[in-house]
Structure 1
Amino acid sequence: MIDSHCHFDFAPFCDDPEHYLALSHQAGVGKIIIPAVGQRNWQAIRDLSARFPNLYFGLGLHPFFSAEHDVNALIQLESELAMEAEQREKKQSHCVAVGECGLDFAIVNADRDQQISLLAAQLQLANRFELPVILHCRKAFPELLRVLRQNMPVAGGVYHGFSGSHQQAVQLIDLGIKIGVGGTITYRRANKTRHTIAALPLGALLLETDAPDMPVAGFQGEPNRPDRLVKVLGELAAIRTESKQEIKQATSLTTAELFRIPI
């Protein structure tokens, strides 16, 4: 399996990455993709992926931390992505996406115009460097859809932590965006999301944990971990018609193809 969204540079993982990678491998999670939050962790995730060959990363400006993104942030992001592109030609880069980026209007006093501007610019950078995007969205779906349609991601992307309606999922899929399936579906009360995920094409789905956030049912109050991706897989198999093995193979292949990583 591939965990398509895990903040592996955060605590507790950063304190003992070998231990948590061993747990992940024992659970059948072979690769992890780490999204950035901003300039402050670009180097940390690059260093982690250099130490551990099964880690990959995205570079981007997370909307939740938009107050930290100064006027030079986009210039620096462009420079970092250009450097990674040169390394990629030499097969020496583990940068596989632009992100985490998106819109978060749930923040108190959110600067919506700034967020929209940053997202549009990052989508354009993703297109320039032919990278998929890792999307975050809270309380801003219509605006996100509009920006996506104005800046169509040529290499696709994933809407992580999806918990919306079937109509919203189809609108994203029509734009070439995959649906990130995480711990939400492990809660029986999340009927809308469970029904939506059960009805979508299997080829549109990726597995994720968002660890250490978005805990799976039964582990509330604890940091989530990438090895608990197996819980997400199990619940996905319980609400769909395909077997666990079919889902594991399909989601792994889809993730590997989207981010162009070896399976």
Structure 2
Amino acid sequence: MITIYNLSPAEALTDQSERLISVGLHPWHVGTDWEEQLRMLGEVAGKKRVMLIGEAGLDKLCKTDFALQQTVFLRQIELSEEVQKPLIIHCVKAWPELIGIRKKMLPSVPWVIHGFRGKPELASQLLELGLYLSFGEKFNVDSLRITPLEKLCTETDESRLPIEEIYCKIAEVKGVSVEELLSQANRLIANMDSQFIDIHMHDKTIAV
């Protein structure tokens, strides 16, 4: 099984393991040191074991100033384009702004919505714009049903369920075998054989 652990820029700089990681500045954690955090992100983003940039994104329910969130998000979009790595996105109550940025930026690398639980109407809109949707333990069944396998990703995030169980639940809803799901999902992660891939797990051994 392949697991991609989500780390902050500071954590990624000090992590001495060889595990695969995603690295980004989450909107919840944008503070007065955000420029230094982005500098550290730029330092590690090009490393081979960094598979995705993020979580990055927009969240209208958190305390971080929304204009600052947008500035930091745009910088991470630019970095993902520079290093040509997919961007994993956290979005809460900011879908119009996210869609507007997507249409303006016209990115060349994949964007994937992390932990998608939205309704099928939103799923359709995002899929039409070329985004990938990542599903974990909890999801909207109708949204999962309309998501093509080639635009579908899987994750545990902070769930205690193993990714194998989540795959089985998703395969059942999609009406396909686990083998077919394995062969077609998570394709935004290049050069990986067909096997269980958890594109987003929080490191349980450190504060995140």
What TM-score do the two structures reach when normalised by structure 2? 0.83
Is 2:5–2:21's contact at 8 Å kept on the other side of the alignment? yes
2:10 aligns with 40
One-letter amino acid of the structure 1 residue matched with residue 9 of structure 2: Q
Rg (Cα) greater in structure:
1
- 1:247 paired to 2:202: no
- 1:235 paired to 2:182: no
2:189 aligns with 259
Cα distance in 2 for partners of 1:81, 1:110 equals 24
Partner SS, residue 234 of structure 1? helix
- Pair 137,69 (structure 1): closer, same or farther in 2 beyond 3 Å: farther
Cα distance in 1 for partners of 2:4, 2:130 equals 19
Divergent runs of 4+, >4 A = none
Match of 2:43 among 76, 79, 90: 79
Matches within 5 A, 1:1-263: 30-36=1-7, 38-44=8-14, 46-48=15-17, 50=18, 55-67=19-31, 69-82=33-46, 84=47, 93-107=48-62, 109-185=63-139, 193-210=140-157, 213=158, 215=159, 224=160, 228-251=162-185, 255=186, 257-263=187-193
Q: Deviations over 1:166-199 (max 9, x none)?
A: 23222322333211010113xxxxxxx1111012
Is 2:6–2:23's contact at 8 Å kept on the other side of the alignment? yes
Aligned-pair RMSD on alpha carbons? 1.9
| Number of equivalenced pairs | 193
Identity of aligned residues (%): 24
**Structure 1: 5+ residue stretches without partners:** 1-29, 85-92, 186-192, 216-223
1:22 aligns with none
Is 2:10–2:40's contact at 8 Å kept on the other side of the alignment? no
2:202 aligns with none
Is 1:116–1:147's contact at 8 Å kept on the other side of the alignment? no
**Structure 2: 5+ residue stretches without partners:** 194-208
Cα distance in 1 for partners of 2:29, 2:86 equals 21
What TM-score do the two structures reach when normalised by structure 1? 0.67
